[in-house]
Amino acid sequence: MGQHRTSLNCLDSAIYFYAKLRADNTAVPVGGSVTLTCSVNPSSFSRWKYCWYKEKYGVPVRLQDAIVLSNDQISVSEGGLYRCRGKSRRYSEYSQFVRIDTIVPIRPVVTLYPNWSEIYGGETITVRCEIHGGDTEWDYEWETNRRIKAPNQNEYRIRAASSSNSGNYRCKCRMKSSQHETTEWSDSVTLTVSSEATLTAQSSIIPAGGSVTLSCSVEGSAGWKFDWFRRDSVSSKAQLMRGNEANRVISVSQGGLYHCRGGRGDPVYYTEDSSDVTVTETFPIRTTVILQHNWPQIYSGETVTVRCEIQGGEGAQWTYEWREGKLNTPPTSNEYRIITVTESDGGEYSCRGRTGYFLTQWSKIITLTVSSASLTVSPDRVQHFTSDSVSLTCEGNFTEWRVRKFSEDGRLSDCRRMTGSTCDINTSKSDTAVYWCESGSGEFSSAVNITVQNDGNGPILVSPVHPVTEGASVSLSCSLRTQKILSNVFFYHNDKLIQNDPRGELKISAVSKSDEGFYKCQYSGRESAQSWMSVKAVFNMKVIKIIISGPAEGDYTNVTSVIQLKVINKKSEYTKCEI
């Protein structure tokens, strides 16, 4: 934009139109200038000529004091009060004054006294604006981001500081003799007003015979001394442990609730108390995790109980903690029961006890292994007739399967007709046995019993292959090869007659543990074989260990294999066998 000089003189009085003056900056930088722009509203008249004034009404800006940039713009390099008006066929009114300051090449400095950038509620601090300018007298301006009006003095004194006094402080100075010459803004100084000390613990647990370190923090400040307090319980009164300590770190070997505070000055000003930190002392008492029943492998669907026992802590009111991320039981219980265990429940378990501010050590880890393998039988019953087609199917996260069989004569063999993961049997008396699935990686399913009725004219008991969950309903019935018997059936539980009426089914609407046992049915004087029905309320899958030796199938002498089975034996239900 070209620069040219014109006459700036305008004489006459303002009448109907309103002038507006704008400045691109209100302070002239050292060696620089600012641009003033004048406009008239309403602008229905064109060809306005603008008149410029400084300090007083009717005193135009001198030609040598400004550079005309255009009809409505001038550039000035001196501070002062400026205004304008427009002239066409008539004059506009004067604009409002715009104050332009000239920046002097001096920058003040904000200092804090005492020199603490962080103070605490209730303390007193002075914010001071300092400038080195010889004998010049100055007025002072303060600016904060907290919108607090500061005095027109070189000191800003804050008494009984609160959080509202926190913020950034800066100042600038204006010459009293000129009022249009000012310094630049000082750099900002940040003041933080805190309300309390902060207590941190190196650890919240004291090892047996050891100690932990506590630190009382009043960051960013100096000159503090510390008081330390301890309580035996939430409701007890805090006792002063140490007072007026210059060191902000102490070591403690007792459990309890700890807090601290800082003090400085004369008279002493105290911070608010820190928040409590709980420190727990470790007891050298033995804690043990017990798995009921303590068998090396659990099967999906079974019930298992894990218990935490503390030896030597009798009489104390213990709460319990468990270290296993998958637990969904209350953490204060000394035991929890998994009613229907799944593979995801497997893992390492440990526990510890807590009473007041005392804690036992973690117990040794016990590992719970849950097999994902399972075996289903179709038709879903224990007893079958000769020449029945029965399918045994292995399920689980494995690709290779075999169905294994432990027969009444003590022989261990594999299913001869495997299609994928299914074993197909055309039943004969020799198929009465215990069956289970074994994966290629050595995982076992729970075992099931298959009984083959050799009497072609006798009945069989229709009962579930797998354990029944306590509270569920179950129906037992009696069947001939040619038909299901609907009436005049006798049912026995552990050789005791429990139903003798026209009904053909034994229905139990809510199974309980007392319903577990051997069942059989009788029709027209003929009895079925008896079968065991398990009720899954507590862990009822019993494990035996059978050791079988042999280098080849049919000749067992050297190779060792361990399997887990449930053995049905009327006189002794559970057995440990070595063959």
Tell me which of 45, 80, 102 is where a domain ends: 102
563 domain residue, yes or no: no
User: Same domain, yes or no, for 148 and 225?
Assistant: no
What is the phi/psi pair of residue 556, to 5°?
-100, 105
571 domain residue, yes or no: no
For residue 519, pLDDT beyond 90 = yes
User: Same domain, yes or no, for 215 and 272?
Assistant: yes
- Mean pLDDT (the chain) is 80
Residues 445-456 have a mean pLDDT of 88
User: Same domain, yes or no, for 347 and 433?
Assistant: no
Overall number of domains in the chain: 5
> From CA 572, how far away is CA 579, in angstroms rounded?
18
pLDDT band at residue 152 using 50, 70 and 90 as cut-offs: confident
Question: Which domain, by its residues, includes 269?
Answer: 198-282
Q: What's the pLDDT tens digit per position in 532-569?
A: 999 875 433 333 332 222 233 333 222 222 333 333 33
pLDDT of res. 339: 76
Q: What's the pLDDT tens digit per position in 336-356?
A: 778 777 777 888 888 888 888
User: Same domain, yes or no, for 38 and 179?
Assistant: no
For residue 332, pLDDT beyond 70 = yes
User: Same domain, yes or no, for 475 and 519?
Assistant: yes
548 domain residue, yes or no: no
User: Same domain, yes or no, for 267 and 328?
Assistant: no
User: Same domain, yes or no, for 450 and 461?
Assistant: yes
Q: What's the pLDDT tens digit per position in 181-209?
A: 888 899 999 888 876 778 888 888 888 77
What tokens appear for 123 in the block?
């303390």
6 domain residue, yes or no: no
Proportion of the chain above pLDDT 70, given as a percent: 84
> From CA 465, how far away is CA 450, in angstroms rounded?
8
366 domain residue, yes or no: no
Q: What is residue 333's three-state secondary structure? A: coil
Tell me which of 36, 70, 102 is where a domain ends: 102
User: Same domain, yes or no, for 441 and 495?
Assistant: yes
Which H, E and C letters describe 221-256, residue by residue? Answer: CCCCEEEEEEECCCCCCCEEEEEEECCCEEEECCCE
pLDDT of res. 292: 72
User: Same domain, yes or no, for 234 and 304?
Assistant: no
Tell me which of 359, 386, 421 is where a domain ends: 359
User: Same domain, yes or no, for 126 and 227?
Assistant: no
384 domain residue, yes or no: yes
What tokens appear for 286 in the block?
């033995």
The residue among 386 and 503 whose pLDDT is bigger is: 386
User: Same domain, yes or no, for 438 and 513?
Assistant: yes
559 domain residue, yes or no: no
pLDDT of res. 135: 76
User: Same domain, yes or no, for 46 and 63?
Assistant: yes
For residue 70, give the CATH number of its domain: 2.60.40.10
550 domain residue, yes or no: no
Q: What's the pLDDT tens digit per position in 37-92?
A: 999 887 666 678 899 998 765 678 887 888 999 889 999 988 889 999 888 878 88
